[in-house]
Amino acid sequence: MLRSCIFLLASIVGCIATWAQSVRTVCSPDKKIKVEVTLADGITYSVYNGTELVLDACRLSLDVNGKVLGSSPRLKQATTRSVSEVKRPFLHLKYAAVPNEYNELRLQMKDDYAVVFRVFNDGMAYRFETALKGNIQVNHEDITVFFPHDTQLVLQQSDRYRSSYEERYAFTKVADWHSYHKMAHYPILATTPAGTKLLMSEADLVDYPAAFFRSNDADGISSVFPRVPAAEKPRSDKSNDVLLRERYIAATSGTRTFPWRYFVITSDDAGLIENTMTCCLSQDSKLDDVSWIQPGQASWEWWNGAVPYGADVDFKAGLNVETYKYFMDFAAKYGIEYIVMDEGWAKDNMDAFTPNPDCDLHEIIAHGKKVGVGVILWLTWRCVEANPGLFAQFEKWGVKGVKIDFMDRSDQWMVNFYERTVREAAKHHIFVDYHGAFKPAGLEYMYPNLLSYEGVVGMEQMGNCKPENSIYLPFIRNAVGAMEYTPGAMFSMQPDNYAARRPNSGSIGTRAYQMALFVVFESGLQMLADNPTLYYDNDECTQFIASVPVLWDDTKVLSAKLGDHVVVAKRSGEQWFIGGMTAERKEPLEFDVKLDFLPEGASFTLTSFEDGVNADRQAMHYVKRVQTVRRGDVVKLRMVRNGGYAACISAK
């Protein structure tokens, strides 16, 4: 039977067709991705990437007040439109200008709800919209996805809804993942037998819980959700135990839009890294003035134990005024915007108004103003919730930002806590970094004072943080939004000889690998995790790290292979940076990179930090090179196991 896309002229040409009255089809602007929506006893959709069927008869429905929207759908009207615009997000981690081009199919049903599909050149998304009176209870949302047989999954698994989202990636065929196994959460990466990649996540997550998934034992996965907490008790000063939950997953307004369920679809691994789906599907900024928000880098004391030990340290190091001033002076020397004062700056974790008596916070902030370095304060979410006047007081004190920790949940109440908190912080010109957090899902675009989220196996996990896991982050976790990983270790080791603990902390991966992470990984707040003493001792490495921006005007993936390596070039203004990382391998990775992204007619200085000849055994070994390059020149990259490449290209 002939299935075709019929282009309808709107403001922009789209691609919409109808087949046999019960099937509606919408294509991407470039016609490569096609979505077929079938209305029968339920609503299902299938997705094609070219001629390949990548998702087959996937189900969707929404149980509202005991009525299942999507069951026996009665179509009232099908409308289409095509959009071609450019979004310019404040927090531009990939591109200053983000193309937002899609064809949309809106299926308005007779029961006061609609399902909206958008198809982009690199993926598709759908969501529910309701126009119901009063408030409603959502009992369940069915997100059931069926993959081709033998599809491979990369996912993080949890045995409960309480999760810090810091599980290592697991690898399985969809047919081998069963309903009695642990749950998974967004983002999830699927690779079909033909090689197409599908990165699943959600966007515009507002007043609603985050989705989890279980196997449906039929080459697919189906959603489950944490229900609304009904009773809680404190577990500690950092977290609560949920004792009882309601029968519903959300109590919300009956007239609203629901979160987007999206799939990045690409045959090229680089497309995962370059995607901007979360940005395109999220609401624009709700802040009229963002001029006060300054993304940047921060020197962090927790990972290195707050014990500088250089020849210039003539004081007892610890969580005290002298140590924090020392960190500030280090930050000022290298142009680093902030220091983080982590757990211990306050006398009590539940009292944000009384600093540790050894930490005269006002003296530290005053010193920071003199040297041009701001203060970020660590807090537990319970402390934030218990102290509603906290941000107003911090603004008076001169605090620039907060790092809020240990949420470890993503039910509706906690999702709303994120939004309430970042909105209130914005009123007082304070930015937020969420630690112990679920993945980004659009709040950072609504409130761009939200600079980063953790929820990753980052360097604070010491020996558990290995390149074999981290190499997937640019393709999966960091591909959906900002990621607080805390790189910058100066003690570098290969995994077979790793031994480190605070205060002599160390990382797995070469020195060049660590430096490259500042270019490869995306975060509006990028922390330098190591000790100022070691940064001083490795001045040329520190100068490079401190020069790497956190916002980027352009991003180009030069080479990428899932699970093997990533090499990216990023531009800020007129300056380009290159970052490369790889994982465990038997032989060094060697290839040529053509500098065809540089402007014509000018010469540039390329300063690179490369794995040394012995870096496969002594991970500290690196080589610094300086050379003159022009557009079209070829640079040879060589990365050893768990190695990297970091470079800056500046006009001569």
What structural domains and CATH numbers belong to the chain?
A: 16-280 (2.70.98.10), 296-492+518-551 (3.20.20.70)
Question: Do 55 and 46 form a contact (C-beta atoms < 8 A)?
Answer: yes
pLDDT band with cut points at 50, 70 and 90 for residue 3: very low
Distance between CA atoms of residues 64 and 76, nearest Å: 19
Is the pLDDT at 142 greater than 50, yes or no? yes
Which uninterrupted H or E stretch holds 44?
strand 43-49
Instruction: Specify the residue for token string 């599909």.
Output: 117
Percent of the chain exceeding pLDDT 90 equals 96
What is the per-residue pLDDT across 430-489, written as a single tens digit (0 to 9) for each? 999 999 999 999 999 999 999 999 999 999 999 999 999 999 999 999 999 999 999 999
Residue 581 has pLDDT above 70, yes or no: yes
pLDDT at residue 9 above 80?
no
Q: What is the pLDDT of residue 458?
A: 97
453 CB-near residues (< 8 Å, 6+ apart): 433, 434, 437, 438, 439, 440, 444, 481, 482, 483, 484
User: What is the C-alpha to C-alpha distance for residues 34 and 93, in angstroms, rounded to an integer?
Assistant: 29
Q: 4 CB contacts (<8 Å, ≥6 apart)?
A: 17
Q: Do 35 and 124 form a contact (C-beta atoms < 8 A)?
A: yes
Query: For the segment 318-327, what is each residue's pLDDT rounded down to a tens digit?
Result: 999 999 999 9
Of residues 132 and 7, the one with the higher pLDDT is 132
> 518 and 646 in contact (C-beta within 8 Å)?
yes
Rg (C-alpha) for the chain, rounded Å, is 25
In the prediction, which pLDDT does 214 show? 97
Task: Quote the CA–CA distance of 271 and 265 in Å, as a whole number.
Answer: 8
- Is the pLDDT confidence value at 305 over 90? yes
Q: Yes or no: say if 370 and 330 are a contact pair by the CB < 8 Å rule.
A: no
Rounded percentage of the chain residues whose pLDDT exceeds 70: 97
Q: What is the spatial distance between Cα 29 and Cα 44, in angstroms, rounded to a whole number?
A: 22
Q: What does residue 203 show for φ and ψ, rounded to 5 degrees?
A: -145, 160
| Structure confidence at residue 586 (pLDDT) | 94
Residue 18 has pLDDT above 70, yes or no: no
First to last CA, the chain: 62
Q: Is the pLDDT of residue 11 over 50?
A: no
Report whether pLDDT(626) > 90. Answer: yes
Q: Quick check: 50 pLDDT over 70?
A: yes
Average pLDDT over residues 192-205: 98
Give the pLDDT confidence of 200-246 residue by residue, as tens digits: 999 999 999 999 999 999 999 999 999 999 999 999 999 999 999 99
pLDDT at 312 over 70: yes
pLDDT of 425 strictly over 90: yes
Question: What's the DSSP call for residue 272?
Answer: H
pLDDT of residue 20 exceeding 90: no
Q: How confident is the model at residue 13 (pLDDT cuts 50, 70, 90)?
A: very low
Inter-residue contact 467 to 583 (CB < 8 Å): yes
pLDDT band with cut points at 50, 70 and 90 for residue 4: very low
Note the pLDDT of residue 344. Answer: 96
Neighbours of 53 (CB within 10 A): 18
